[in-house]
Chains A and B, each alone.
Chain A
């Protein structure tokens, strides 16, 4: 018990030097928890938004459909099979038809995708019911990104050209009946939502769909021929990879902070061992083994980490709580992140994150504290008592 007592007394006795180290370490500790929490929150937010507005409980894709292959889209439609139609009738799924198109806002060419959705659907959280509105043209729903890129406002008319199932050109005017605010880019950028029946009719694809989105609580029960089920693991794989990539990128910042903290502790330890040689010699002369002295100095260093965790918790937790409550405001160009982000990101701090970070900091501090103490093992007590270096 003498070692912990001595360690605490020595640590507090070092005064300002200890507190400077602790503050630097606590900043690193805070930064790690905050950044990690931010990315966890970002991932959760994007995941929830995608599931809520587009992925549902998973999607059935027509076998040719590949969202990354625009060439395959013209062959990616087929009649909704009986099993899926039953789900649609039961309100557990909604069919979506996609047709590549070109829009001409004010005579400019803007690539667009016509997406047909039933105005009656309740499966995904899209204001599709606005497509029931009376209009002298085809009623259309777009997102804010599309509205911005095509410079469109609610009530505007937009000419759209597409090709039907036979490859014949067709064109019509649509009227923008609503502009939806959404964080999900995949349902917004370049997308023009119109009533499913209208699209099926004008594209000569009666009762056909490109994908069928299931309700959130759906678990795969059928695999119709010509259709593939895509679950959340598949649909969210890109998002996970993106968050992972961004987390690694951001970790450079807190690795640098941690490195600064470690450097400070390492220097402190080296200085302590140099300045306290007589003390080390006395302790050994009094019967303390070299390993015990090493343990004492290592514990002194490691206690910096523990103190940093306590101090960091004291000044950091109100800040983290405020951030989690009010969110981290995102700039207008937040879309550049390539994922569904809202006006603010709400960080999430899990028990695992805090415990993991504490263990990481303590482990790093202990290692850094231990490294300089190896010199003690080479000290001869007589030399140490005289203040000579080994």
Chain B
């Protein structure tokens, strides 16, 4: 029996087997092959793009290192304004700070007259304050470190903290979000040791500028304790610096404490005597 028009001859070799296919069948086969090729190509492309993208995205640790690098400098002199929003009224305190590395800082309060002349000196893990009213220098230690600085939402301990987060926390990139029109990484921080004041934090870091845009500090139980929100970032002396920051103790009512950076000089020379206890009384 002669095979039919659309039947494949059982003994015919491969190519000859297809010799009998209709034009329509060929088109279907070609379309299938194209689709398959497209599919493989797209899978490969997506995998490639994703892997390239993954390679381009920094790890949490890298983000933290770049944030630290951006925030720290050999020395800096800054003038700032702290607006403390109380229940009934707000107070504005102006100060000038000299900072060298991560261990030395000296702050002098300039106004209002009631606070003018009050000075603070931090050397490594010790903090002294000088009050002109009493003409006394006090070492802030132990329980006193937990007290609020000038009635603000910041404690002395917050000021004493090692500014290099990478020394204190393990970091993991946990997401992305846009804040103040800036795309940010969200990085979860977990304390490396048990003796760190805040066991976990979450920071929002500008993807491009590596500036902190927001921070949340949590209790061991996971309860949100404090937030830091950056309202404005400016380019100063070649660095992106937060010039308006709001600190808020989340357990307290109120609007928190606003910190406005008026002027900053990076790597400015600071005389050694500034970081001595004698300078507190000058």
Mark A residues whose CB is within 8 Å of B. 70-71, 73-74, 100, 102, 104, 106-109, 159, 161, 163-164, 166-172, 202, 204
Out of A104, A202, A204, which one reaches B252, CB within 8 Å?
A: A104
**Chain B minimum-CB-distance residue to A164:** B220
Interface-located stretch among B111-119, B176-184, B189-197, B257-265: B189-197
B107 within 8 A of A: no
Report the Cα distance A378→B196, complex, angstroms: 91
Query: Which residue of A74, A167, A170, A202 is within 8 Å of B195 (Cβ)?
Result: A167
Question: Are A167 and B197 closer than 8 Å at their CB atoms?
Answer: yes
Q: Which of B199, B217, B220, B254 has the most CB of A within 10 A?
A: B220
**Residues of A contacting B29 with CB < 8 Å?**
none
Quick one: which of A108, A109, A171 contacts B221, CB cutoff 8 A? Answer: A171
Residues B221 and A170 in contact, CB atoms below 8 Å apart: yes
Which chain B positions have C-beta within 8 A of A170? 219-221, 223
> Is B198 an interface residue when CB atoms closer than 8 A count as contact?
yes
B251, CB-defined interface residue at 8 Å: yes
Does the CB pair A171–B251 fall under 8 Å? yes
New A-B pairs, 5, CB < 8 Å, besides A169-B199, A204-B194 = A159-B251, A168-B196, A168-B199, A169-B197, A169-B217
Contact A168:B220 (CB < 8 A) given known A70-B143, A74-B143: yes
Among the interface residues A159, A164, A171, A204, which one has the most CB atoms of the partner chain B within 10 A?
A: A171
Residues of chain B contacted by A107 (CB below 8 angstroms): 251-254
Residues on A with C-beta less than 8 A from B254 are: 107
Interface of B is mostly: loop
Q: Which residue of A lies closest to B195 (CB)?
A: A166
Q: Is B142 an interface residue (CB 8 A)?
A: yes
Task: Determine how close the nearest CB of chain B comes to the CB of A102; give it in whole angstroms.
Answer: 8
CB proximity to A under 8 Å, residues B138-196: 141-144, 146, 191, 194-196
Complex-state Cα separation, A161 to B219, whole angstroms: 8
Using CB atoms, name the residue of chain B closest to A162: B219
Question: Which residues of B108-148 are within 8 A (CB) of A?
Answer: 141-144, 146
> How many whole Å from B161's CB to the nearest CB in chain A?
12
Partner of A71, one of B143, B194, B199, B251: B143
Cβ-defined contact, A100 with B143, below 8 A = yes
Task: Assess whether B225 is interfacial by the CB under 8 Å rule.
Answer: yes
Q: Which residues of A contact B219 (CB under 8 A)?
A: 161, 169-172
Q: Contacting B223 at CB < 8 Å: which of A74, A167, A171?
A: A171
B-chain residues with CB within 8 Å of residue A100 when the two chains form the complex? 143
Which of the residues A71, A109, A172 comes within 8 Å of B142, measured between beta carbons?
A71
Complex contact B199–A74 (CB within 8 A) = no
Chain B residues with CB under 8 Å of A159's CB are 223, 251
